[in-house]
Amino acid sequence: MTHHQDERSRQSIAWLALGAVAVTGLVGASVLTRQPMARHDADSAPGRTARQMRYGRFAVVGRTVTIHRPRDEVYRFWRDPSNLPTIMDHVAAITEQNNDLWTWQLDAPAGMTVHLETEIVSDRPGSEIAWKSTEASQVRTQGKVMFSDAPGDRGTEVEAIIAYTPVLGELGRLIAKLAGKDPETQGRRALKRLKMLLETGEIATSRNQREPEAPTAKAAESQQA
C-alpha cells in the first residue's frame, strides 16, 4: 500500500460524506479512477448506481426504502443502538461508550467476529445520521442514513449508504457476497426488517415454531416491536 493510494482512499471517503450527488461527481474525477473514462454531465441518479464506479479501496453500497411512518419516528429508532441488532442479523451487539461512540460486534464470514467502533460525525434529528469508524476499529467504514419525506403521503424515504474496505480485498468482497454476508445484502435486509418492524410491529418469518430450528438462527427474528 503506497502512501499515494492511501491518500486517494481518504479523499474518496471524505467525498462520500458529502452525499450522493458529490459521489456522482467523484466518479468522474479521473484522479480517483484507475481507468480514465469519458466525462459526461452527472445525471440525477445516486452515484452508487453508476455503470462504472471507482472509490479506490472502498466498496460503496446503498439502498433506499420507503416506510409508512413519520420521519422522526424512523430517525429515533435508528438513533438508539439497542434497536439495531433487531434488524441487523450480522450485528451481535452494540455497546454505547457515549452518545456518539458505539462499539459493534459483527458476525463475519467463517465464524469470525469483527469489532467495529464508530463515531457519529453528523446528527441532524429527523434527517440524517452519519458515522465513521475510529482509529481503534478493526474495519474502516463510513456511512450515513438519510430520512426524507416520501411523496404522496407514503411516509419516509430512508436512504442508507455505506463505504467499507472489504476484508481480504476484492476477493473477500466476492466471497462475502456469495455467502450473503456482504454489506450490500446485509444492509438491504436490515432496511427491509426496519420497514417490517415499523410498519407492522413484527418481522415476517415463515417459521411455525417458536424455538429456532437451527441453533445459529437469530432470536431477533421472533422479537416483538
Partner 1 sequence: MRALTWHGTKDVRVDTVPDPQIVNPRDAIIEITSTAICGSDLHLYNGLIPGVLPGDILGHEFMGRVVDVGPGSTLSVGDRVVVPFTISCGACFFCRHDLFSACDNSNPVDTQEVTEAQFGHAMAGLFGYSHLTGGYPGGQAQYARVPFSDVGPIVIPEGLSDDQVLFLSDILPTGWMAAENAKIEPGDTVAVWGCGPVGLFAIQSALLMGAETVIAIDHHSRRLDLARSLGAKVIDFRQTRVLEALTEMTGGIGPDAVIDAVGMESHGFVTDTILDKAKQALGLPYDAAHALREAIMACRKGGRISVPGVYGGLTQMFPMGAIMQKGLELRTGQTHVQRYLQPLLRRIEEGEIDTTFLISHHLSLEDAPKGYHNFLNHQDEWIKVVLKPH
Give Cβ neighbours of residue 189 (< 8 Å, ≥ 6 apart).
89
- Each residue of 144-171: b (16+ CB within 10 Å) or e? bbbbeebeeeebbbbbbbbbbbbbeeee
The least CB distance from residue 9 to partner 1, in Å, is 30
What is the C-alpha radius of gyration for the chain, rounded to an integer number of angstroms? 18
| CB closer to partner 1, 111 vs 201 | 201
Interface with partner 1, residue 33, by CB under 8 A:
no
Residue from the set 101, 120, 196, 220 that interacts with partner 1 by CB under 8 A = 196
Residue from the set 52, 113, 122, 205 that interacts with partner 1 by CB under 8 A = 205
The least CB distance from residue 189 to partner 1, in Å, is 4
Instruction: Output the CA–CA distances (angstroms, integers) from residue 26 to 3, 9, 15, 16, 29, in the order listed.
Output: 20, 12, 7, 8, 5
Residue from the set 36, 111, 151, 201 that interacts with partner 1 by CB under 8 A = 201
Q: x/- site string to partner 1, residues 145 to 184, per CB under 8 A?
A: ---------x-------------------------x----
Query: Which residues within the stretch 64-103 sit at the binding site for partner 1 (CB under 8 A)?
Result: 66, 68
Give the count of residues interacting with partner 1 (CB under 8 A). Answer: 25
Residue from the set 35, 98, 206, 216 that interacts with partner 1 by CB under 8 A = 206
Q: Tell me how far apart the alpha carbons of residues 143 and 106 are, in angstroms, rounded to a whole number.
A: 16
The DSSP annotation for 135-155 comes to TT-SS-EEEEEEEEEPGGG--
Nearest to 160 by CA among 74, 102, 86, 81: 74
Residue in the structure block whose three cell numbers are 461527481: 25
The least CB distance from residue 60 to partner 1, in Å, is 20
| CB closer to partner 1, 114 vs 196 | 196
Positions that interact with partner 1 (CB under 8 A):
66, 68, 154, 180, 185, 189, 192-193, 195-196, 199-210, 222, 224-225
